[in-house]
Amino acid sequence: MLVSSSFGSRPILLAMLFLLVSCGQRRASTSETLIIGGQPTQAPAYFAALHQIGDQEPFCGGSLIAPHVVITAAHCVSPFRGDLAVWMGMTSVDSKPTPIQAQAIIRHPRYHNRKFQHDLALVFLESSLTTKTITLAGSDATQDRLRIYGYGNTSRDGFVYPTNIQTAEVQEIGTGQCKTLGGSYGTIIEEQICAGDMQKGATDSCDGDSGGPLVVGAQTQELYGLVSWGTGCGQAGRPGVYTRLAPYHDWIQETVDHMMQGDTPLDEFLAALFYGPLRYQDASGAERQFTASYQLWRKAASSVATAALATWEKTWQNGTVRLELHSRGPQRYEWRAFVRGEWYTAATHFSQ
Ligand code: 4AZ
């Protein structure tokens, strides 16, 4: 997430960024300087390149922390892009492994999309992998030598995306010092890490590196943080901001355990499975879109007698989860869900 130094111009900057990214991508040629001060490398086995099925380019990074779980930034999956998949351990976009689809996604419940705080999410994969996972770092001491990996922008003042994954070393700047840098840095909390090269801005993460790993250790790497945001890229005195993982170890462990044991709270479970927008054509042919946010679950005796306007189905650990949209008069909808062997009624939000 790129943040401009002046708060007021942020939406304009983001809109411009979007336009530039969507129309102006070009690949780095070998003669150009790569990442912000990085170099091409072999992708670590745990590195996940997030992409939308059918796309040829990744838009974010992630890390495999369990055979079926990738951790990434919440802003990478917010708003949800439907049909998310990962390429594991991919070193070059010219040589892609088989994509693995995301089956469910859980964002941190306190993720704040304006302050970019609690910027983490768990992506549960359709098939579990035998690839090596990365363990979460135990240490919480300020780190001099940290390493980043990603397919993000390699240019300080334009948009140049590399064919080969890039890596660079960055240095941690204490949270207290980072807060004094002003602008958006004033919102930094202990659950975030500032890292970069304060003097020269020689190395940094940038747009497209988001969600990717910030690791500690040379021989055995451990996951210390996730690329989150920054004010520009590779500017002196403007470090990159990362989600610190140590404060979230319990949340990560519990969330993974609950999903695997099948006792995730119902509304959270449904939102995790139906993470993409639910599209439906109404009687007039207009497309409506429902978001994956469910509330007020009540047990229902059965499904309603009327035929559903639309149904969506997902499987999770051999069980089928079914969502039905029913009509209750003009512009009035009722949701029914079959989950863990019972029918429920629900309220959901819909847009457009
Ligand atoms: C981004 O937009 C982004 N310089 C990530 C990291 C940094 C800036 C922007 C840090 O994904």
pLDDT, tens digit (0-9, with 9 covering 90-100), for 333-348: 788 888 888 888 876 6
Strands 26-27 and 160-161: parallel
Number of domains in the chain: 2
Ligand 1 pocket residue status of 325, Cβ below 6 Å: no
Rounded CA-CA distance 246/297 in Å is 33
The pLDDT value recorded for residue 23 is 36
Judge whether 46 lies within some domain: yes
Residues 199, 78 share a domain: yes
**Probe ligand 1: pick from 35, 207, 242, 243, max atoms within 8 Å of CB?**
207
Return the exposure string of 232-247: e unless at least 16 CB atoms fall within 10 Å of the residue's CB, then b: bbbbeebbbbbbbbee
Distance 99 CA to ligand 1 centre (A): 25
231 CA to middle of ligand 1, Å?
7
What pLDDT digit, counting tens, does each position of 81-131 carry? Answer: 778 999 999 999 999 999 999 999 999 999 988 888 999 999 999 988 788
Q: Are residues 88 and 22 in the same domain?
A: yes
Domain that holds residue 300: 266-348
Edge-to-edge order in the sheet of strand 310-316? 278-281, 287-300, 342-351, 333-339, 319-327, 310-316
Give the highest mean pLDDT range of 8-17, 122-131, 240-249, 293-302: 240-249
Same domain, residue pair 294 and 223: no
346 CA to centre of ligand 1 in angstroms = 38
C-alpha span between 83 and 103 (Å, rounded): 9
Q: Of the candidates 224, 250, 276, which is a domain's last residue?
A: 250
Q: Quick one: 194 and 90 in the same domain? A: yes
pTM listed for this prediction: 0.88
Q: In this model, does residue 60 exceed pLDDT 70?
A: yes
Whether residue 4 is contained in a domain is answered as no
Mean pLDDT of the chain: 85
Distance CA 102, CA 268 (A): 16
Asked if residue 230 has its Cβ within 6 Å of ligand 1, the reply is: yes
206 lines ligand 1 (CB under 6 A): yes
Closest ligand 1 atom to Cα of 75 = 11
Asked whether residue 221 is assigned to any structural domain, the reply reads yes
Q: What are phi and psi of 313, to 5 degrees?
A: -135, 145
What's the whole-number mean pLDDT along residues 37-60? 96
The domain that contains 60 carries what CATH number?
2.40.10.10
Encode pLDDT of 281-302 as tens digits.
877 888 888 776 655 566 666 6
Report pLDDT for 19: 39
Element (H, E) at 16: helix 10-23
CA-to-CA distance for 135 and 150, rounded, in angstroms?
A: 18
What are 163-221's pLDDT values in tens digits? 999 999 999 999 999 999 999 999 999 999 999 999 999 999 999 999 999 999 888 99
Token pair recorded at residue 249: 């170890």
Structure-model confidence comparison of residues 338 and 254, the more confident one: 254
Mutation probe of ligand 1 site: the residue of 18, 35, 228 with most atoms within 8 A of C-beta: 228
Count how many Cα atoms sit within 13 Å of the Cα of residue 24 in the half-sphere of its side chain.
12
Q: 103 is written with which tokens?
A: 């089956």
First to last CA, the chain: 26
**Candidate of 75, 210, 214, 226 to mutate for ligand 1, largest count of ligand atoms within 8 Å of Cβ:** 210
